[in-house]
């Protein structure tokens, strides 16, 4: 367990250095393993992986058992998607393709009671199954829920100052993979992604917003930390499995080949 008594949103807003990973396997054990290793959070990837509401619900429960924050990358900014995972007790949402301030305001409204439009249901895990009063539940959820906008489109880069300025957006995640795909037909896609990343960091720094990123290498992580990122997504459960499996196969097969030659 992380052993940190502060809530995830408090730590995220304070720009503590946080480490997480994407979960793409629809099972609880990856979350349990990562929690036992001291990761700060995971992101359940409903956008690109085969999750349903029941699977996400079980993974959120597993995270709570290991003191691991559970963020869900929802399929879209549809209020129903956001409400579903928050009622299950998710610590926040990562919303893809936030291209403008209007979209940013809409996802904030979907995730907040005060000043927002979140559907009220206190008899959920988030509402401690009815133990809290209406006022207690609403106030606690507005303090707890973290709302992060994914910046992964050229339009979002053009509108980044307005997106970052939306009250209730707790931070942004720079989706460099999607940006690279969007800039693929330009003369220098890598340079375009670098400039876009710098633009987001600069806009976030102006208002003290938290930036999350997925670094490709330790050197890249250091570079992005210097630029202002404080939350780091390290690969995914699939990526960890693939990397470890390849490494084990390469080492063992090399040893066996050598032994058979001797």
Taking the CB of residue 248, how many other CB atoms lie within 10 A of it?
10
Q: Mean pLDDT across the stretch 125-133?
A: 92
pLDDT given at position 31: 97
Q: Is residue 37 part of a domain?
A: yes
Q: CA torsion sign, 212 to 205 to 149 to 171?
A: positive
pLDDT given at position 70: 98
Phi, psi values for residue 240, rounded to 5° = -60, -45
Taking the CB of residue 34, how many other CB atoms lie within 10 A of it?
24
Q: Is residue 1 part of a domain?
A: no
Q: Is residue 23 part of a domain?
A: yes
Q: Mean pLDDT across the stretch 203-211?
A: 98
How confident is the model over 208-229, as pLDDT tens digits? Answer: 999 999 999 999 999 999 999 9
Q: What is the CATH number of the domain that holds 25?
A: 3.20.20.60
Of these residues, 48, 137, 201, 249, which one is catalytic?
Answer: 48
Boundaries of domain holding 183: 8-261
Q: Is residue 233 part of a domain?
A: yes
Is 137 a catalytic site residue?
no
pLDDT given at position 1: 37
The mean predicted confidence, pLDDT, of the chain is 96
> How many domains would you assign to the chain?
1
Q: CA 194 to CA 205: how far, in whole Å? A: 17
Q: Is residue 2 part of a domain?
A: no
Tokens of 75: 């399929």
Q: Residue 6 pLDDT > 90, yes or no? A: no
Q: Is residue 172 part of a domain?
A: yes
9 Cβ contact partners less than 8 Å away, ≥ 6 residues apart: 91, 92, 143, 144, 145, 146, 170
Q: Is residue 206 part of a domain?
A: yes
Q: Is 216 helix (H, G, I), strand (E, B) or coil?
A: coil
Q: Residue 120 pLDDT > 70, yes or no? A: yes
Q: Residue 3 pLDDT > 70, yes or no? A: no
Residue among 55, 54, 64 at smallest CA distance from 23: 55
Q: How many CA atoms lie within 13 A of 225 on its CB side?
A: 14
Q: Residue 237 pLDDT > 80, yes or no? A: yes
pLDDT given at position 2: 42
Q: Is residue 61 part of a domain?
A: yes
How confident is the model over 84-101, as pLDDT tens digits? Answer: 999 999 999 999 999 999
């Amino acid at each position: 367990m992380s052993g940190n008594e502060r809530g995830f949103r408090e730590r995220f807003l304070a720009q503590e250095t946080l480490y997480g990973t994407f979960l793409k396997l629809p099972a609880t054990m990856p979350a349990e393993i990562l929690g036992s290793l001291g990761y700060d959070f995971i992101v359940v990837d409903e956008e690109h992986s085969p999750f349903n509401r029941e699977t996400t619900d079980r993974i959120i429960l597993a995270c709570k058992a290991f003191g691991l924050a559970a963020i869900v990358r929802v399929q879209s900014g549809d209020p129903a998607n956001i409400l579903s995972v928050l009622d299950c007790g998710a610590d926040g949402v990562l919303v893809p393709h936030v291209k403008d301030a209007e979209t940013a305001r809409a996802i904030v409204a979907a995730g907040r009671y005060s000043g927002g439009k979140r559907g009220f249901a206190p008899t959920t895990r988030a509402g401690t199954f009815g133990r809290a009063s209406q006022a207690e539940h609403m106030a606690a959820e507005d303090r707890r829920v973290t709302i992060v906008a994914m910046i992964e489109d050229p339009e979002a880069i053009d509108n980044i100052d307005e997106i970052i300025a939306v009250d209730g957006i707790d931070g942004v995640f720079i989706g460099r993979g999607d940006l690279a795909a969007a800039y693929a037909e330009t003369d220098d896609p890598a340079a375009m992604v670098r400039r876009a990343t710098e633009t987001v960091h600069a806009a976030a720094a102006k208002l003290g917003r938290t930036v999350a990123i997925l670094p490709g290498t330790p050197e890249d992580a250091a570079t992005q930390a210097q630029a202002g990122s404080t939350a780091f997504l390290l690969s995914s459960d699939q990526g960890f499995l693939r990397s470890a499996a390849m490494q084990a196969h390469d080492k063992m097969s090399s040893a066996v080949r050598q032994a058979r030659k001797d």
